[in-house]
Chains A and B, each alone.
Chain A
Amino acid sequence: MDLALLPMHKLLDLFYSDPNLIVEYIHSIYNRIHRVEEKVKAFITLRPLEETIAEAEHLIKKYVNDKNNPKLFGIAVAVKDNISTKGIRTTCGSRMLENYIPPYDATVITRLKDEGAIIIGKTNMDEFAMGSTTETSAFFVTRNPWDLSRSPGGSSGGSAAALAAGEATVALGSDTGGSVRNPASFTATFGLKPTYGLVSRYGLIAYGSSLDQIGPMARNTDDLAMLLNVIAGHDPKDSTSLPTKVGDIREEMYDLFHREPRLKIAIAKDLFEYSDDVVRNETYKAVDKLCSYHECEEIEIPYAKQCVAAYYIISMAEASSNLARYDGVRYGLRIEVENKSWIEVYREVRTKGFGYEVKKRIALGAYVLSMGYRDMYYLKALRFRRMLKETFNKIFSKYNAILSPTTPILPPRIGEFLEDPIKMYYADLNTVIANLIGGPALSLPVGFYNNLPIGLQIMTNYMDEVTALYISKSLEETLKLRDLIVDV
């Protein structure tokens, strides 16, 4: 039995009865990494085996006589490289932070460690999370384990590829406009963007602060819910964290799953119509399965295509402000400062430290905020955001969930999007809505076309992650598309 291939909930049962298996499991994970990583290239930083084994042995000793089993006892977690990890390099996929070693842990990392997780490494991503393919990383391109000539999506592509290739049991990503769900969809894994404020952003390196959320990634719904249980909850260190008590999300999901309530489900007609035929056909098959039990109705989302414009205006504006801090003095690339003025140093650091996509988004963000254009673009996007939120409040007063394809396309070939960035922006059409309105959204695998994964997105109302997980679990039971690991 290869422990690296087992789902987390089964591993935990094994580890609770025989903690010593954790050491064997960590060895098994690293064996797998050594076999596939050269082809997949999911990790920017992989912790040395000796270090993680020592951590596993320490955990075993610590909990051997403890009746309180930690919720992630010995589980190998891959973490996106924009989440701060004390003592472990955190690059954000950028030359700007190539040698940055955070002196503190993000709140989500503290919570993982408190529950006995072992962080095995930091995963590749689009630079500062700006991209949907993991190709804008300053270091290398990550490959989709299902087809190495294609992208695993992004920006959390490293985390998703690591899961699909069996290099980690669960992972963390971050989602500003679909960066957890898009790679989950392209790699036949599960990804959830939680309600804005449910998971602390303390220690997450900011891109678009009003949109960013850290989200769990896994190979099945149970593991997704268990990981969310650990990272969700109020954090006084993040002023946008919601001051609400969070119950046991997995237990609540099972409560629904056993009671099997009939839901009212909305089918986002426009988002299906805008999708490629193969994606539409495959996702409709999954929808049909759900609608044979639940009550489904087609709905129209007014101004769906304009969501992409509003999203990019707001995210670029926020990025231009958030990334102003990288000046090489407080943060960022160090360069020699002899005989240079402040302005020269700032400019040189920012020019050398950022890649093209980041530079472009910072410049456009400054443009939409600059005098004369603020009203024309930025304020207009914010007005649209209010309108969209009210529209979805009305939809969720009638329906429990909204279904759509996660992405309108199949995983793109490496390089395909770099030639046509507008195509890349419009591929975010289905996912940006949840970020603009702040609600939860989950992607799960529902089918394949020529061995390329296709995902379905479930959007639910604020703080109703449980319904999204219930629908995901129901479909997972029907389709049996779970715990998929591909040999590369």
Chain B
Amino acid sequence: MDMNSDIIEYLENLVLIKFTEVEKNRIRKEIDKIIDMFNTLNTVKNLNDWEPLYHVHDISLPLREDHETEESDEEHEILKENTILINDYVKAPRTVTE
């Protein structure tokens, strides 16, 4: 697998992250070895005979009821800590670009 510059650029757009030039050089050096490691799975015989295992416990996990909480302060605390609030409104970027 050739992890060329186009793919790095494609991934940068996919995950909304920019690599610096230094990082790009580093990832180019490492990526082939990592993909080679991933490809060792091709040496496993009859892998297609097995169903994918997404979760280690084959039990149906319980869902819980949603309950309205009276602790609205907690919600406000979360917003206060992690966003830019102006009069309790979240300040957001522009939605329309020129």
Contacts and interface: CB of A to CB of B under 8 A. Distances in A.
Nearest to A437: B56
For chain B, the bracket of interface size reads 35 or more
Nearest to A343: B16
Contact of A351 (B18, B43, B78, B94): B18
Contact of A342 (B41, B48, B95): B95
A100 B37 contact: no
A66 interface: no
B57 A360 contact: no
A341 B34 contact: no
B81 A381 contact: no
Interface string B20-63: 00010011001101100111111110011011111111000111
Kindly state the interface size class of chain A when it binds its partner: 35 or more
A81 to B, nearest CB: 16
B74 A103 contact: yes
A441 to B, nearest CB: 13
Given A104-B74, A386-B52, A387-B44, A341 B23 contact: no
Interface in A85-121: 100-104
A339 B52 contact: no
A15 interface: no
Given A239-B63, A351-B17, A359-B19, A309 B57 contact: no
A272 interface: no
A309 B41 contact: yes
Contact of A339 (B14, B26, B77, B94): B94
A100 B78 CA distance: 10
A309 B17 contact: no
A320 B16 CA distance: 11
Interface in A333-352: 334, 337, 339-347, 350-351
B49 to A, nearest CB: 8
B83 interface: yes
A285 interface: no
A395 interface: no
Interface in A125-162: none
Interface string A307-320: 01110110000001
Contacts of A104: 74
A368 B37 CA distance: 13
Nearest to A358: B17
Contact of A350 (B17, B23, B94): B17
Contacts of A306: 40-41, 43-44
B27 A360 contact: yes
A438 interface: yes
Contact of A362 (B15, B41, B74, B91): B15
A350 to B, nearest CB: 5
Task: From A337, A343, A363, A436, name the one whose CB has the most chain B CB atoms within 10 angstroms.
Answer: A363
10 contacts: A103-B77, A303-B43, A329-B90, A342-B95, A347-B18, A351-B18, A359-B17, A366-B14, A377-B38, A385-B53
The 5 closest A-B pairs by CB, nearest first: A438-B56, A382-B52, A386-B53, A103-B77, A383-B50
Interface of A: 100-104, 196-197, 210, 236, 239-240, 242-243, 303, 305-306, 308-310, 312-313, 320, 324, 327, 329-332, 334, 337, 339-347, 350-351, 354, 356, 359-360, 362-364, 366-368, 370, 377, 379-387, 389-390, 421-422, 425, 436-438
Given A359-B15, A363-B11, A382-B53, 15 more contacts: A100-B81, A103-B74, A103-B78, A236-B64, A312-B37, A330-B83, A337-B84, A345-B93, A347-B16, A363-B15, A370-B14, A383-B51, A386-B50, A421-B30, A438-B56
